[in-house]
Amino acid sequence: MPRVHKKVDVVTIGAGWTSSVIGWKLGAAGHSVVALEIGEARWANPDFMHNHDPLRHEIRKALMYDISQETWTWRPNAGLPSLPIRQYGSFHPGRGLGGASVHWTAQFWRFLPADFQHRSHNIARYGQNKIPADMTVQDWPVTYDELEPYYDRVEYDIGASGAAGNLAGQIVPGGNPFEAPRSRPYPLPPHPMMIHAQMFADACNGLGYHPFPQPAGILSQAYRDVSGRVRSGCIYCGYCTRYGCEVDAKTSAVSTHIPAALQTGNYEVRTYCKVRRINVGPDGMATGVTYVDLLTGQEHEQPAEVVLVSSYTLSNVRLLLLSQSAKHPRGVGNDRNMVGKNYTYQLSKTPTTLVFEGHRFNEFAGNGVVQSLIYDFNADNFDHSNVDFIGGASIYTGSGQRDPLTSVTTLPPQGTGRRSGSGAAGGGSQAGAGTQQGGGAGQESGPPKDGQIATAGDVGSVAGRGTEWGQAWKENLRRNWDSTVGIGVQGEIQAYRQNFLDLDPTYKDNFGDPLLRLTFDFYDNERNMYRFLAQRCDQIGRAMNPTRMKTTPDLDPYNIYQYQSTHCTGGAIMGHDPGSSVTNKYGQVWDTPNVFVTGAALYPQNPGANPTETLLALAYMAADAIRDRYFRNPGELLV
């Protein structure tokens, strides 16, 4: 028999960022909140002290889910069988106190006003035919103006760093001129840029674009945050993404909102708790959750007035689908078969790679926010009338944190002149190539023919076709490991009818519960958008005048085994009505009103920026609504 605990006001699945935001706000108002975390407790001191271990963090994914116990399956389309993911690739969900906020890169973005009216904006400007029939994009039920006060509060609570580009409608030089109006500047100045970020900015200025420094959730100076503690500014150690921050400069749930929530005395965290079901009563309302203590194997029930589904996007969707009952036979939130719909991702690629022979960029230092970027081709910041896609992306370079163990897999080869394909923009000699580079931006040639000696120029990376070895490759590595610069894009992916999440009919986890199945691939809109962006990356790369360069002109099919970003979105989307969404704008589930969903699972589609600041702003808004309105009329839908 399960152990039944005392009923609380709110139980949260996961003890990550949105759980702690709501726990802090509700706890301060006197509500009892219990957070059930599948992983361990972890803090900067002592858990992240001297953790500069790429083998542990980059290769073995120490801060991630244990995919030997629970994983996901994937297929590119519904006509093919799915297979389980046996090693980490496309995304890196966090496990443990703070969730993915602990190991994120900390790029910190507000979305643009048009992102929230995505469907109606594009139809109004370009006509109904601009959106293909199989594309299920839709407007959000919340606007930028509604979220702006919450964006502002979040930035000042955590100490965001950046350069304002639009203060109350006034464009500010040095910032992002395409951003929406903000009520105040960033609380902290932007981080310094890496050497190659400044080169990128100079090239973009020369081309008439508008570079600006990366907005960041990492402190550029010491700052007193919402927890009341003064935290250190960044020391630029070079071990940031996939690592916990040893000095707490990188903002996360464990550095800000979890301490604030614990200080209320009403927020309790239980670690090593695996939630298996949302429990539902005869009236169809949630009564709490069932979970297993992973240390003892004991089953527990935690009754609650409100259930907050606040773990990683894919875990949130899976839990809703697994929580089947007589009242909700297809799962909580799924009475109209909307759970799992509008699953999207982020197009995060590096179309162009540059080599500057003899230059040292010190890319082993820094972090993922010491870069420069442009928004000229993101969202609808440029005219789409004569292009065959909607959406866009930021274009950037300048990140640090390059480590020897993993970065050799992306080092471009020393040119030998043997290339096939002309690529997006012609020969490398136009970029000042002093080596035998001919062919420029095209794909590398095939494996050596019989009797031909393989050289470093035959292949592209250690992770490629497997023929890289020998003296030429080693010499290239010695000369150019710190002379290589990538120009990347982070862009939108649209929602499609044929991309979705559901429960796998074949594969199960170690408890016997079905795994979540991802059916996902890129389509023409993404391929066309990437081709357009790659040409702009190539243009900027040539203006930076490298020794040699390579641009990959076309987008390969989606592959779950290659890391792209951890920005999985959708599956429990918010909307205006239950016929086209799972929740309202507060994350309140239409068919089970005492269940709330948080995080990027709510996004109807994925804009061209990291999801974190928006999911925090939404959590602030939801917490205020639950505290000030829901508990006055429990069980009622908020409007």
Question: How far is 468 from 414, CA to CA, in rounded Å?
Answer: 11
Q: Is 250 helix (H, G, I), strand (E, B) or coil?
A: strand
Calculated CA dihedral for residues 386, 390, 391, 397, nearest 10 degrees: -50
Candidates 58, 65, 610; CA nearest to 312 is 65
Question: How far is 10 from 313, CA to CA, in rounded Å?
Answer: 20
Distance, CA of 163 to chain centre: 22
Question: How far is 233 from 213, CA to CA, in rounded Å?
Answer: 17
DSSP run (H or E) holding 531: helix 524-543
Question: How far is 40 from 98, CA to CA, in rounded Å?
Answer: 10
Question: Phi, psi at residue 561, to the nearest 5°?
Answer: -95, 5
Candidates 374, 492, 373, 489; CA nearest to 121 is 492
**Residue 25 near residue 623 (C-beta atoms within 8 A):** yes
Task: Give 55's DSSP letter.
Answer: I
DSSP run (H or E) holding 223: strand 223-224
Q: Which of 92, 121, 210, 567 is catalytic?
A: 567
Structure tokens at 336: 């109209």
Structure tokens at 472: 């030429």
**Residue 606 near residue 571 (C-beta atoms within 8 A):** no
Tokens 């500014």 correspond to 233
Q: Where do the DSSP E strands lie in 398-491?
A: 484-491
Strands 3-4 and 299-309, by their bridges, are: parallel
**Residue 18 near residue 601 (C-beta atoms within 8 A):** no
Angle at 571 between CA 568 and CA 577, to 5 degrees: 135
Question: How far is 521 from 533, CA to CA, in rounded Å?
Answer: 19
DSSP run (H or E) holding 615: helix 612-628
Tokens 């862009």 correspond to 491
Question: How far is 414 from 355, CA to CA, in rounded Å?
Answer: 9
Tokens 């580009």 correspond to 165
Q: Where do the DSSP E strands lie in 558-636?
A: 595-597
Q: Is 543 helix (H, G, I), strand (E, B) or coil?
A: helix
Candidates 143, 226, 148, 225; CA nearest to 183 is 148
Does residue 92 carry a catalytic annotation? no
Tokens 């040699």 correspond to 548
Annotated active-site positions, please? Answer: 567
